[in-house]
A = this chain, B = another copy of it.
Amino acid sequence: MGNKSVQKRQYILEKAKGVFAKKGFKDVTMQDIIDACQISRGGLYLYFESTKEIFLEVLKLESEEADDTFSKALTEECTGADILALFLKEQKKEILNKEGDLTIAIYEFFFANKVPAKENPVRVQFKSAVKIIEKLIKDGVESGEFICENPLGAARNIMYVLEGLKVCARTMGITEENVNKEIFYIMEGLVSDS
């Protein structure tokens, strides 16, 4: 149902995003969102009927924004290596930004909610990132910046490392230096090959 005021809906989703960023998924109650939005119980239920529904909507918004950011980056005049470096820098921020992004909430949610592969936004985003990185590496190889015999394998390796860093940052703690080292290791592997 294309219910109620669109602005309020957006407003709720924004506030809810903040809550999920702060508390993950499982600990978030409708009450938390009510408090964050300063609205009434019934008011919230008018728009959404569970934290699950709200979370999925938040994710939808997020992925749209992410797509925009990515497209913008790609349209700018840069070499593959530049863009990859930029991408990794962004990822570094995300990896280290322990409170304030949805990573933990996403993990918690998808641990508990099995979603068919094709509709799984995490998977979709992962796969599209792999593809883009592969493309960037290929560009870099063509322009002579990179040396790489298996761009797809390298792209996947990069994505899994980033995912590993993200989860380690949130379970065991990680320093910026740790991340730098990994990124350096990755770039090194692409630049020289000996």
List chain A positions with a Cβ less than 8 A from chain B: 24, 26-27, 104, 106-108, 110-112, 114, 117, 120, 122-123, 126, 149-150, 153-154, 156-157, 159-168, 170-173, 181-182, 185-186, 188-189, 193-194
Contact = CB atoms under 8 A, between A and B. Distances in A.
A27 B27 CA distance: 10
Count copies of this chain in the complex.
4
A172 B160 CA distance: 12
A182 B164 CA distance: 13
Nearest to A125: B172
**Chain A contact surface mostly:** helix
A120 B157 contact: no
B161 A185 contact: no
Given A111-B171, A164-B165, A194-B194, 11 more contacts: A24-B112, A26-B26, A27-B112, A106-B171, A110-B170, A123-B171, A157-B182, A157-B185, A160-B161, A160-B165, A163-B167
A166 B160 CA distance: 9
A172 B111 contact: no
Contacts of A162: 164
Contact of A172 (B122, B157, B165, B189): B122
Contacts of A110: 170-172
B107 A168 contact: no
A70 B34 CA distance: 47
A157 B158 CA distance: 9
A168 B161 contact: no
A173 B111 CA distance: 10
A111 B170 contact: yes
Q: When A and B form their complex, which 5 residue pairs have the shortest distance between CB atoms, in order from nearest?
A: A160-B164, A163-B164, A164-B164, A123-B172, A110-B171
